[in-house]
Chain A
Amino acid sequence: MKKIIIHMCLIASIFADNISLTGEYADLNGNPFKKVLNIKKDYSMNVFSENSKITFKVTSNLNKDSYILIPIQEHEKEYILNNKSVENISASFYTEDYKVNKTNQGDFIEVNILSGKINLEYLLAEESEITYLEKVTINMNLEIIKHINNKATKTTRSITMDNTLGKTGDNYDWAITTDKDYSSIDLMNSIHEILETEIYSVLKGI
């Protein structure tokens, strides 16, 4: 029985990978001085996300010809996001100014991911048969519902971001410069980082 379960898990892992957001990357967008200086918080904020699974389909520029050169596919066909973990990003955002509780009681802010897709761009160096993951782009649609005095106000947003996290280049005028790390992107870290930054950016914009 044990073997069957292990085999089932292995088979499942070929087609999908689970993503649970922790807020680790969202925290990097905040003001770290607020946390360390113990700025007094006068008000509290309740945050909530539905307990659901959202599928992010993956597209890439790896085509059939590429597979001949690169026999090992470097990514899953889809990734499954645990929507409940979005609460951690809401908490990361609001905790700078409020005492945060994860609950749907009283007045609260609800954030849910509705859909999303991931596109991967590989640099295909055919002569050396090496793949190099250059760019990860994630598009997602999400809803923000403000529950105040038993009245719900819903806003939907669509956001697209790549692994530069929306930062423009630091090229000087009339010169192209770089201090970029040219090592290949760690896909899972990048997906977490982009998703958390996207949700944080949307919350900041509302």
Chain B
Amino acid sequence: MRTLFTLFPILSAVLILLSGCSATQINYNKSSIERNLNKNINKIQKLSIVVNDKSPKNIIKKLNELSISAVTYNLHASEINSNVSREFFNQYFKNITTEDINALFTVNTSLSDFTIYNSLVPGNQIVTLTLNIEVIKAGKVILKKIYKKEASGMTIVELNLTATETTFKKLHKGLLKVYEVDFKKDLLKALADNKSKGKS
């Protein structure tokens, strides 16, 4: 009995360490962005664009960026970014490929970093994203920018079993918003400035 009492704290510590070691997986979930996609736009039909995802396969981060945190996230960065970028461009272009010498332009995009922090408001975690984008047209880089953004959105009522579900959806929506709001504006300007150039 005495041995059991001695072992109990050790076993508890081992269990906590083991649970801390298994990372929470953040996979691509289309339903998180589906409502924010505009399906009514007349797409460009004949001409194609090239979109290449250059993200690392996985990014592993601790909650609050604290090395002692028991919560670890494994973001499937390449899977999420390749899908979200494709969904974004697919609103405007019918043909999106990874290789085409006659493409209108080429986009190299990388979801290179993210953070998740707890906030003072219960159920509202703060998500930041870093997106590196390069656009090439006619062999020339017409746009190269790093977007470091905080995903917007405040949770008012939370009925999920875990707060992380909403956080992960916020992450998806935040990434789409970077493409839709910040990147699109820059891309349109870069394309307008390089209107007279040929194909990439």
Count of chain A residues with a beta carbon within 8 Å of a chain B beta carbon: 25
Is there contact, CB below 8 Å, between A179 and B153? yes
**Residues of chain A lying within 8 A (CB to CB) of residue B44:** 31, 33-34, 37, 39
Asked if A178 is an interface residue, CB under 8 A from chain B, the answer is yes
**What is the CA–CA distance of A85 and B169 in the complex, to the nearest angstrom?**
42
Which chain B positions have C-beta within 8 A of A177? Answer: 153-156, 166, 170
Known contacts being A37-B104, A173-B31, is A29 close to B157, with CB within 8 Å? no
Known A33-B191, A36-B192; judge A175-B155 contact (CB<8 A). yes
The CA of A201 and the CA of B93, in the complex, are separated in Å by 20
Q: Give every chain B residue within 8 A of A31 (Cβ-Cβ).
A: 41-44, 92
- Would you call A96 an interface residue if the criterion is a C-beta within 8 Å of the partner chain's C-beta atoms? yes
Identify which of residues 155-176 in chain B touch chain A, using a CB-to-CB cut-off of 8 Å: 155-160, 165-166, 169-170, 173
- B40 adjacent to chain A (CB < 8 Å): yes
B192 partner residues in chain A, CB cutoff 8 A: 36
**Contact among A168, A169, A175, A178 with B160 in the assembled complex (CB-CB below 8 Å):** A175
Question: How would residues 126 to 138 of chain B score, 1 for a CB under 8 Å from any chain A CB and 0 otherwise?
Answer: 0000000000000
Identity of the chain A residue whose Cβ is nearest the Cβ of B123 in the assembled complex = A175
Q: Report how many residues on chain B are interfacial, defined by Cβ distance under 8 Å.
A: 32
Mark A1-44 against chain B: 1 for CB-CB distance below 8 A, else 0: 00000000000000000000000000001111110111100000
The reply to whether the CB of A50 lies closer than 8 angstroms to some CB of chain B is: no
Q: Is B195 an interface residue (CB 8 A)?
A: yes
B27 at interface by CB-CB < 8 Å = no
Chain A contacts for B47, CB-based, 8 A = 37, 39
Total A-B Cβ pairs within 8 A: 74
Q: Which of A29, A36, A168, A173 contacts B191 (CB 8 A)?
A: A36
The answer to the question of A121 belonging to the interface, with a C-beta cut-off of 8 Å to chain B, is: no
- Among A29, A33, A173, the one with the most B-chain Cβ atoms within 10 Å of its Cβ is A33
Interface assignment of B24: CB less than 8 Å from any CB of chain A:
no
Chain B window 20-54, contacts with chain A (Cβ cutoff 8 Å), 1 for yes, 0 for no: 00000000000110011000111110010000000
Chain A residues contacting B169 (CB-CB under 8 Å) are: 172, 175
Say if the beta carbon of A151 comes within 8 Å of chain B.
Answer: no
Q: Which residues of B contact A204 (CB under 8 A)?
A: 40
Whether A134 sits at the interface, judged by CB under 8 Å, is: no
Instruction: List the B side residues contacting A174 at CB < 8 Å.
Output: 158-160, 165
Q: Which of A31, A97, A201, A204 has the most CB of B within 10 A?
A: A31
Q: Indicate whether A175 sits within 8 Å of B158 (C-beta atoms), given known contacts A170-B173, A204-B40.
A: yes
Given contact pairs A30-B42, A170-B35, A178 touches B188 in the complex (Cβ within 8 A): no
Given known A174-B159, A175-B158, contact A33–B40 (CB-CB < 8 A): no
B152 close to A (CB within 8 Å): yes
Top 9 A-B pairs, shortest CB-CB distance: A174-B159, A179-B152, A176-B157, A172-B169, A176-B156, A36-B191, A179-B153, A177-B153, A175-B166
- Which residues of A does B touch, CB under 8 Å? 29-34, 36-39, 96-97, 168-170, 172-179, 201, 204
**4 extra interchain contacts, Cβ-Cβ under 8 A, other than A33-B92, A174-B160, A176-B155?**
A39-B44, A172-B165, A175-B169, A177-B166
B residues whose Cβ falls under 8 Å from a Cβ of A: 31-32, 35-36, 40-44, 47, 92-93, 104, 152-160, 165-166, 169-170, 173, 184, 188, 191-192, 195
